[in-house]
A and B are shown apart, each in its own frame.
Chain A
Amino acid sequence: MLEIVNVSRRFGDFQALNEVSLQVQAGEFFTLLGPSGCGKTTLLRSIAGFDTPDSGDILLDGKSLLALPPEKRPVHTVFQSYALFPHMTVADNIAFPLRMSGVGKAEIERRVADVLEDVRLPDKAKHFPEELSGGQRQRIAIARALVNRPRLLLLDEPLSALDAKLREQMQIELINLQKEVGITFVYVTHDQGEALALSHRIAVMNKGEVSQIDEPSLLYSSPKNRFVADFIGQCNLLDGKVVSCDGATTRITIDGLGELAVQSNPNIPFNVGDDCALTLRPEKIRLAKSVAPESDEVHFPGTVHDMLYLGDVTVYIIEVKRDGHPVLIEALLANSAPGRARLLDTGDAVEICWPRDAGHLVR
C-alpha cells in the first residue's frame, strides 16, 4: 500500500503541493487527475524519487521511500515520451532493468519473451524503437517498466501522444493488463474522460491540493465542490443562496431562476444565507418544445440560445429569463431518431425541467 502523508513542495513562489495526503491500496488503479499546474506530476515525481518533498512522507508498505534514490525504489515509471533507449533493440530495452539488477542471462531471455507476450508484441524483440508505431512504443515502454515486477507502476500521461482512436484501444488494453499483472498503477492525466474510464479511484487535484478522492461514478454524481463538478464532465453550475434547510429538502434562490427546492447534500451542512451552487448535469435535464412536468420536477420556459451538433447528441444552450436576469443552461438531446438533429433551432421557444433530486448542492 502506498501512503502519501502531508506532502508539501514549493518551487520559489509556487506552491506545487500543499499538505497532500492520500492512500493507494495494493492492486488498485489509482489516478491523479487535474489541470496542468495542479501538482499531479510533482507528486508522481516525488513517488518515483526525481523530486523530494519539502515536508511530509511517502510510505510504501509502511516503509518510507524518501531516503532511497530513484534507482533503489521498487517503483517504475512509464514516461510521457516513452523514453525508450533509441540505440537498443526492443529486447535490450526490456532487459535493461533486469540487467541492472543482475538477473541471469537465461532468466532475462525468458522474462523478456513473457512480457512481450503480455503486451502482444512477441515478434518485435529484434526491432529498434524508431521502427515501431506510437502505440507499439507505448506498449514496449509499459513492458519495460513491468518486466521486473515493481511494487508500483507510475504512468505519466502515457496516452497523450496517441490519436483518439488508438487511445481508446490502449485504455482497454491498460485495464486488462493491470488486471492481469495485479500491480498497483498510479496514473497521472489531465483528461477526465480517460480518468473515469480507467480508474478504480480518482484523486482530483487543484492548485496543489486534493479536491476529492472517490470512485469515478461517485465523483461524477456527487462532486464535493464546484471545481470537481466543473472539471469532471459537462456541468451547469447555478450560483445561489440558501433560503431554508429542512432535512431532505433545501430551498435556495438562484439569480435569474428564483426560488426552488432541491435535495439536501447529506455531506455538506448548509445554514440559511450561505452561498451555494447547484450542479446539474445536462443529461438530467428534459428538454422539448413543451414538457409536462411531473410533480417532483422543476420547470422553466426558455429559448434556444446556441446549439452544438456532436453526432451522437446535440448540445443545446438554453436561455432562461424568469426575473429579468438571463441564465444559460446546457441540456442535450440524443440524436437517435431520424430528423431529431433539427428538432429545435436557435431562437425556438422551449421548455426544460429536471427532477428535484437531479441537482447536487455544493459550496
Chain B
Amino acid sequence: MKNGAKALLTLPPAVYLFLFFAVPGLLMLLASFRFPGDYGGLAPWYYVEDGAITFDLTLENWARLFETTLYLQLLLKSLLFAVLTTAICALLAYPLALTIAASPKKHRDLLILMVILPFWSNFLVRIYAWMIIFSPQGALTEGLNHITGLLGLEPVNLMFSSVAVITCLVYVHLPFMVLPLYANLEKHDPALLDAAQDLGATRAQRFWKVTWPLSLPGLYAGAVLVFIPTLGIFAIPDLLGGTNGIMIGNVIKQQFVESRDWPFGSVLSLVLTGITLVLVVLAGRLGRTPGALT
C-alpha cells in the first residue's frame, strides 16, 4: 500500500480522537486555569482592551488542591476503593471464568448470558435493589444484628457505609472482569495442559505454570475495565455511601453541579484522568507477555 493510502486509512480514527479526546482534554486543561463565572460556568479567559489582549488566568485552582489534605485523602480513598473492588472482582471472577471456560461448549453461551443478564435491567434500579438489601429493616441487617446481639456486640448498620459501596461496586463491575478473562481462558489450547501433565506437572503446577501466566493479559484487561469506571464513579457512593462512603467522583460532580465551580472541578478531573492514564499504561506494559494470548 502506498504511504498516501495508509495516511488516508488512519485519518478517521485520528480525527475522532482529536475531536472527542484531545480537544475536550485541552478545553478542560484551559478551564483549570480560569476563574469561575459569577453565576457558575467560566469567566472569560482574556480581554481585548484598546487592541491589546490581557489574559485572565490563575494557578489558584491548582493550589487549592494542596491547601488541605482533604482532596488528596479522598483521592487516596477512591484509589483504595477501586483497588479493593478490582481485587475482589478478580478473586470472584477468576474461578467463575475458569469454570465457564472448562464447561461443555453447548453450556458456555448460556452461562455467559447469565453473567451479562443484569445489564438488561437499569443501573439505578439495581442500586436501589441494594438499598433495600442493606436497609436497616432488611433481612440481611436484621440477621447480622441478631448474631451481633448474641455475641454482645454493637448492632451494625450496613446502609451508608464503605462496605455497602464496595459491595455494590463489585456487583456492578463483576461482568467486566468475567468477560475478558473468559475470552482469554476459552482460547487456551487444552493440549497445553495435557502436555504439562504428561511432562510431570501436578494439578497445581499446571495452573501456576501454564494457565495463570497465559491468562494474565485477560486479567489485566478485566482489571482496567473495572478499575477505571470504579475510580470515577459517583452514583453508587451517592446512593449507598452517605458521608462515609463518599469518593472523588462525588466531589467532582459537586463542583460542576452544586458548587458551580467548573475550574476546580476541571483540576480534580484532570488529576483523576492523569492517574488513570499512568495506571493503564503500566497495565499495558505488564500485559505484554511474550507469546501470551491477547
Q: Which residues of B contact A83 (CB under 8 A)?
A: 189, 191-192, 194-195
Flag whether B104 is at the interface (Cβ < 8 A).
no
Interface string of A40-66 (1 = CB under 8 A from B): 000000001110000000000000000
CB-CB under 8 A from A70, the residues of chain B are 194, 197-198
Task: Decide if A25 is an interface residue (CB 8 Å cutoff).
Answer: no
Partner of A100, one of B200, B290, B293: B200
Q: Tell me whether B195 and A79 are in contact (CB under 8 A).
A: yes
B290 nearest in chain A by CB position: A128
Q: Shortest beta-carbon distance, B153 to chain A, in Å?
A: 49
> For residue A86, which residues in chain B have a CB less than 8 angstroms away from its CB?
214, 291-293
Q: Are A79 and B191 in contact (CB under 8 A)?
A: yes
Q: How far is the CA of A85 from the CA of B196 in the complex (A)?
A: 9
CA of A211 to CA of B200 in the docked complex: distance in angstroms? 34
Interfacial chain B residues near A128, Cβ < 8 Å: 290-291
CB pair A96 B196 closer than 8 Å: yes
Please tell me if the beta carbons of B198 and A77 are within 8 angstroms of each other in the complex. Answer: yes
Residues of chain A lying within 8 A (CB to CB) of residue B43: none
Q: Which residues of A contact B202 (CB under 8 A)?
A: 71
If the complex has contacts A87-B214, A88-B291, A129-B291, are A48 and B192 also in contact, measured as CB distance less than 8 A? no
Which residues in window 91-117 of A have CB below 8 A to B?
96-97, 100-101
Contact A100 to B201, CB < 8 A, known contacts A81-B189, A86-B214? yes
Binds A, one of B88-96, B155-163, B205-213, B255-263: B205-213
A contact residues around B48 at 8 Å (CB): none
A130 at the interface (CB under 8 A from B): yes
Bound complex: CA A80 to CA B194 (Å): 12
Name B157-205 residues within 8 Å CB distance of A.
Answer: 189, 191-192, 194-202, 205
Please state if B292 and A96 are interface contacts (CB–CB under 8 Å): no
Q: Is B148 positioned at the interface, with any CB of A under 8 Å from its CB?
A: no
User: In whole Å, how far is A94's beta carbon from the nearest beta carbon of chain B?
Assistant: 10
Q: What is the CA–CA distance of A71 and B209 in the complex, to the nearest angstrom?
A: 14
Q: What residues on A are CB-neighbors of B293 within 8 Å? A: 86
Answer whether A50 and B194 are a contact pair too, CB < 8 Å, given A71-B200, A97-B200, A130-B291.
Answer: yes
How distant is A147 from chain B, measured CB to nearest CB, in Å?
9
Bound form: Cα–Cα A144–B196 in Å: 11
Within 8 A of B (CB), among A247-276: none
Nearest CB in chain B: distance from A67 CB, A? 16
A18 to B260, CA, bound (A): 83
Cβ-based interface call for B289 (8 A)? yes
Distance A96 CA – B58 CA, assembled complex (angstroms):
62
Expressed in whole angstroms, the Cα–Cα distance for A80 and B201 within the complex equals 20
Asked whether any CB of chain B lies closer than 8 Å to the CB of A145, the reply is: yes
Whether A76 sits at the interface, judged by CB under 8 Å, is: yes
Cross-chain contact of A87 among B197, B199, B213 (Cβ < 8 A) = B213
Q: Which residues of A contact B205 (CB under 8 A)?
A: 100
Chain B residues with CB under 8 Å of A85's CB are: 192, 195-196, 209-210, 291
Residues of A within 8 A of B189 (CB): 81, 83
For B192, the chain A residues whose CB sits under 8 A away are 83, 85
Docked complex Cα distance between A70 and B198 (Å): 5
Q: B214: nearest residue on chain A (CB-CB)? A: A87
B198 neighbours in A (Cβ, 8 Å)? 48-50, 70-71, 75-77, 145
Is the pair B199, A144 in contact by a Cβ cutoff of 8 Å? Answer: yes
A73 to chain B, nearest CB (A): 8
State the CA gap A101–B200 with chains docked (Å): 7
Contact B291 A96 (CB under 8 A): no
Which residues of the other chain, B, contact A88 by a CB distance below 8 angstroms?
291
Closest to B195 in A: A83
Instruction: A77 to B199: give the CA distance in the assembly, Å.
Output: 8
Question: What is the CA–CA distance of A128 and B200 in the complex, to the nearest angstrom?
Answer: 22
Give chain A residues whose Cβ lies under 8 Å from the Cβ of B290.
87, 128
**CB-defined contacts of A97 to chain B, threshold 8 Å:** 199-200
Interface centre among A72, A87, A145 (most CB of B within 10 A): A87
Chain B residues, CB < 8 A from A71 = 197-202
Do the beta carbons of B200 and A87 come within 8 Å of each other?
no
Say whether, besides A87-B214, A88-B291, A81 and B197 are in contact (CB < 8 Å). Answer: no
Offer 22 A-B interface pairs, CB within 8 angstroms, sorted by A: A50-B194, A50-B197, A70-B194, A71-B197, A71-B199, A71-B201, A76-B199, A77-B198, A81-B189, A83-B191, A84-B195, A85-B196, A85-B209, A85-B210, A86-B291, A86-B292, A86-B293, A87-B291, A96-B196, A96-B201, A144-B199, A145-B199
Q: A79-B195, A83-B194, A100-B199 are in contact. List 17 more A-B contacts (CB 8 A).
A: A71-B197, A75-B198, A77-B194, A81-B189, A81-B191, A83-B192, A83-B195, A84-B195, A85-B291, A86-B291, A86-B292, A87-B292, A88-B291, A96-B196, A96-B199, A129-B291, A148-B200
Sorted nearest first, the 4 A-B pairs with minimum C-beta distance are A100-B200, A83-B195, A86-B291, A97-B199
